[in-house]
Structures are given as C-alpha cells and as structure tokens.
C-alpha cells in the first residue's frame, strides 16, 4: 500500500516523539514540502525562512571509491549557529573541513591496520577554498579537488589565479547535458577546459605561518550563445587540485 505524502509525513512526525504538537505539525509540513520539491533547499521548499525557526547544520565526510562505490560515512559534525546577540564560536566554520580531514584519516588508518591506506582525495565545495584547509591537505600528504571561490594571488605575471588560467590554451571542447533544476529547463552547454599549475602566494598578514603552495587550476568555461552559456558572458567553474 502506498501512503499519501501527508499521511506518511504525519506518521514520521508522530514517531519522532517531539515534546510539542506544534513541532510535530512543523515537521510534517517540512517533510511534505521536501517530498514535493526534492531538488530545492529546505527554505526554498518551505517558501522562505519563516517556517523553519533555528536549524542545525550537519557536515558529513562520505567515503567513495574512484569508481563511484559508496563505502560509508567517515565523520559527521553538527552545530547550531548562534542567535542574534549571542557570542559566536571560537572556531570559524571552515574548521569543519579540517576536522573532517583529520577524522577521516584517523578512521581509515585505524581500519587499515597493517595494510596500506589508499591515497585520499578530498572533494570539497566553495567553502573548502580556505588557505588553512589547503595547508592541512598539503601537510597531510593527501590530495584534494576544491571548487574555487577565491581569486588568489599567484606567482605569475598576471598576478591573479582566474585571469591566469583563462589565458591558457584550450585543452578540449565538449558539449555536456546540464541537469534540470526547479524552474529551469534542461539544456546543453558547450564548454572549454583549460588548466595550469600555479604557486599560491599567501597573505602573510592574514596567515603569518603559511607558505607558498603549488596547486593545479582547472577551468571549465561555458561559452555564451545558443549552446547554453550562463548569461551573455557565459560562465565558468574553476577547481583547485593538488599538483603532483
């Protein structure tokens, strides 16, 4: 028997054994809206932040093989951001990436015993583009692929990372299918791939104990036009990867 979404969500909320009926109703509404809008964030599914109150943030380190096989969860961290007027945490939220790296290494080394530990490649989104995180990866001898957010200073005549990689020759061109999002139809995008090795130069006033690091920049740029660039100027995704 297939239950209607609202009935299933209500049963789940009851099983959660929350201390207030209003919380059960709120959880039921969140579950129903999430089911009906699976690709949306919770605020998007609920139509705004008003129906959420204070939430808990969850950061998960998931182990996946190079072939895409999921091994399991290596680490989870959760926290609630301080409310207005309350003191903030001593650590920056970027520390979650460093903690995840350390915890993942500890779990794998313990599980491996006397066997060799496979090479670790940490895959991170834009929040992982922090100099402290990259130093942790380099210091551990691991590898990483990080979605680039900062246009950092580099040891190059062009001085900035994004401009430097855009000046490189095109390695390949391809047409990729861009998945459909809420309110945006599926499309095809013509992309160009460029890459270069750069030496990142830290701001010693901000990071007094940092050192220059060599990483690879990989840019995937969608050309504007009928093939489907983002806006009149197209769009780019730039990633950092550890240089061998």
Q: Please write the tens of the pLDDT for every residue from 18-74.
A: 787 888 888 888 888 888 877 776 677 777 655 575 567 788 999 999 888 999 999
Total Cβ atoms within 10 A of residue 52: 12
Global pTM reads: 0.70
Q: Report strand pairing: 143-147 vs 121-124.
A: parallel
The rounded distance, in Å, linking the Cα atoms of 190 and 229 is 7
Residue 142 CB neighbours (<10 A):
16
pLDDT at 70: 92
Residue 9's nearest CA partner among 36, 37, 30, 38 is 30
């Amino acid at each position: 028997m297939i239950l209607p979404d609202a009935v299933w969500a209500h049963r789940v909320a009851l099983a959660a054994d929350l201390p207030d009926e209003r919380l059960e109703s709120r959880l039921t509404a969140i579950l129903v809206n999430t089911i009906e809008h699976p690709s949306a964030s919770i605020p998007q599914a609920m139509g705004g932040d008003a129906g959420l109150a204070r939430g808990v943030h969850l950061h998960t380190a998931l182990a996946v093989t190079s072939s895409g096989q999921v091994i399991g969860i290596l680490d989870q961290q959760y926290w609630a951001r301080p409310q207005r007027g309350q003191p903030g945490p001593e650590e920056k939220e970027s520390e979650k990436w460093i903690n995840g790296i350390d915890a993942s290494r500890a779990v794998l080394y313990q599980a491996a015993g006397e066997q060799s530990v496979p090479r670790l490649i940490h895959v991170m989104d834009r929040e992982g583009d922090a100099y402290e995180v990259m130093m942790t990866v380099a210091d551990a001898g691991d590898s990483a692929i990080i979605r680039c957010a900062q246009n950092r200073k580099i040891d190059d005549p062009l001085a900035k990372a994004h401009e430097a990689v855009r000046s490189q020759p095109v390695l390949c061109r391809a047409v990729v299918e861009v998945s459909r999002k809420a309110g945006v139809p599926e499309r095809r995008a013509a992309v160009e791939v460029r890459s270069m090795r750069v030496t990142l130069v830290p701001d010693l006033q901000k990071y007094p104990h940092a050192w220059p690091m060599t990483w690879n920049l990989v840019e995937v740029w969608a050309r504007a036009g009928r093939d489907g660039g983002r806006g009149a100027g197209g769009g780019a995704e730039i990633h950092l990867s550890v240089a061998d």
